[in-house]
């Protein structure tokens, strides 16, 4: 593998580079990301955890101004089974778990990305692209962004969201879905229902698990998504069932419209 001192040096020798993977210690993320952004690498995937919020905010803002897409920080990576992957995403039985198919998966949790892939595989479904967006307070690509990508992807027929308590990215996704007619079925599952029983102000371990002013809670996310037409899976095993039902209903509706139009 060729090794270079700078991104510019690498691009000078490999003009078709289209992604940068950042897996450096947190204090080095800012410099690494800005270097890749300034070099106009179109996609940057940041695996590093514990990146300060102020650093993430600056990276995301600079990337948007430069037309660069950032995934992460705290991303597990991206995979399109049978095509390629970048990052740590996967499992010990990757060919059995991440099977090619037509379901797009976007998850805050790295570990749950693989678990959802496994559930889909056991349910007879496969994945077009699986995307770990990270669970930090500020991330470069959120649920709504991923849904926009899946909406335009001809290889994707439906989407699965795995969310967690804290922040408002799930609520923002619901607002996006409610603002227009989304062309594909969406199923979601939200982790953290148990927190509804905890005393207010309980400190949790996840970086983005901040609940404030009625938003960010399990109930807030589920209510918003359900109101936007998203089918909610209370258990992971329900995901392939709900997807199959939703895709069948969408196909049946399209068939009826086609008959009416004749």
**Nearest one of 127, 158, 160, 128 to 143, comparing CA atoms:** 160
59 to each of 21, 80, 112, 164, how far by Cα in Å?
A: 14, 25, 26, 23
Phi, psi of 5 (to 5 degrees): -80, -30
- Please indicate whether residue 30 is annotated as part of the active site: no
Q: Catalytic: which of 30, 50, 206, 259?
A: 206
160 to each of 4, 104, 186, 222, 256, how far by Cα in Å?
A: 38, 6, 6, 14, 26
- CA-based max dimension of the chain: 63
Taking the C-alpha atoms of residue 94 and residue 83, their distance in angstroms, rounded to an integer, is 13
Q: How many residues does the chain have?
A: 262
Beta-sheet strands, E only, within 108-260: 127-132, 158-164, 186-191, 231-232
Catalytic residues: 206
């Amino acid at each position: 593998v060729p090794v270079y001192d700078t991104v510019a040096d690498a691009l000078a020798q490999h003009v078709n580079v289209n992604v940068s993977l950042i897996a450096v210690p947190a204090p080095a993320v800012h410099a690494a990301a800005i270097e890749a952004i300034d070099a106009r690498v179109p996609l940057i995937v940041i695996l590093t955890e514990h990146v300060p919020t102020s650093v993430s905010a600056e990276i995301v803002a600079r990337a948007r101004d430069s037309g660069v897409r950032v995934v992460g920080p705290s991303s597990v990576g991206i995979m399109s089974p049978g095509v390629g992957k970048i990052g740590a995403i996967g499992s010990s039985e990757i060919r059995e778990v991440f099977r090619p198919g037509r379901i797009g998966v976007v998850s805050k949790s790295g570990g749950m990305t693989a678990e959802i892939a496994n559930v889909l595989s056991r349910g007879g479904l496969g994945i077009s692209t699986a995307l770990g967006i990270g669970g930090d307070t500020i991330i470069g690509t959120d649920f709504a962004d991923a849904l926009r990508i899946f909406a335009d992807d001809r290889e994707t027929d439906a989407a699965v969201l795995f969310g967690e308590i804290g922040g408002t990215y799930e609520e923002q996704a619901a607002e996006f879905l409610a603002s227009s007619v989304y062309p594909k079925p969406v199923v979601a599952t939200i982790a953290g229902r148990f927190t509804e029983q905890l005393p207010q102000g309980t400190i949790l371990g996840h970086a983005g698990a901040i609940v404030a002013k009625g938003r960010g809670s399990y109930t807030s996310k589920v209510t918003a998504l359900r109101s936007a037409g998203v089918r909610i899976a209370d258990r992971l095993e329900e995901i392939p069932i709900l997807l199959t039902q939703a895709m069948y209903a969408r196909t049946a509706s399209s068939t009826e419209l086609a008959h009416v139009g004749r």
